[in-house]
Amino acid sequence: MSLFTELKREAYEANMEIPRQQLAIYTFGNVSAFDKSRGIYAIKPSGVPYTELRVEDMVIVDLDNNIIEGKLNPSSDSKTHTVLYRECSDIGGICHTHSPYATAWAQAKCEIPILGTTHADHTIKSIPVTSELTESAINMGYEEATGHSIAALFTEIQNSELNFLEDEMVLAACHGPFTWGVNAAKAIYNSRVLEEIAKMAYFTLAINPNITPLSKAIKEKHFFRKHGKNAYYGQK
């Protein structure tokens, strides 16, 4: 048995949620699961259909982008995952999909404004979008540049209110959504939630293009009834 079987299994189960949740078709999308103590992650192999995917197909990669175990090539987006794990080692899983509504917002290079309580249940901020990659950045290393463009949202002065451990949903301009969480299961959960938020925002603006963002009072009410020390949503 591989030393990485459980990590591979975590990544496999999360990846299989992509087609189950209708977040991508064919071979689109990928999820990784990170082991902080060993500085490695398991990720979907590149170009393998979900219908053919097996636990043992998951590829183990370290934070220098070396393949530690696996007979197949890792996802072509693996270097983006590496950048994000290096930026915040407390992230336990990352998901990237091409879900249609979230991807449409990314292609439009628009952040998703907070318009309703479904959005506020998960974050009180708009879903940010990265800057479009320059030609020189693409030529120097497209996947790494994608990761750095996401990381820049959390380090640029004007966006200093963003926090990797609190803000788990991002749109890569012209590309698609990336989400993460404490583990791979939370990362895929956030991707599904993001797709619903993106869909609702699209329809809301189609119905009323002049709609204003949700008020501070209702945003905070919905968010903090589910998060923080005074949360009361759900069961104890």
The tokens of 213 are what?
């963002």
Residue in 188, 31, 199 with CA at minimum distance from that of residue 100: 199
**Is residue 233 included in any domain, yes or no?**
no
**Is residue 232 included in any domain, yes or no?**
no
88/44 Cα distance (integer angstroms): 21
pLDDT in the model for residue 197: 98
- Which amino acid appears at position 40 of this protein? I
**Is residue 234 included in any domain, yes or no?**
no
Chain segment 90-121, per-residue pLDDT in tens: 999 999 999 999 999 999 999 999 999 999 99
The helix (run of H) or strand (run of E) holding residue 183 is none
Predicted TM-score (pTM) of the model is: 0.95
* Number of separate domains in the chain: 1
Q: Which residues are catalytic?
A: 121, 233
Percent of the chain scored above 90 by pLDDT? Answer: 92
Q: Which CATH number do you get for residue 102?
A: 3.40.225.10
What is the domain extent for residue 25? 5-224
| pLDDT < 70: residue spans in the chain | 1, 157-160
**Is residue 229 included in any domain, yes or no?**
no
pLDDT in the model for residue 155: 84
Chain segment 34-56, per-residue pLDDT in tens: 999 999 999 999 999 999 999 99
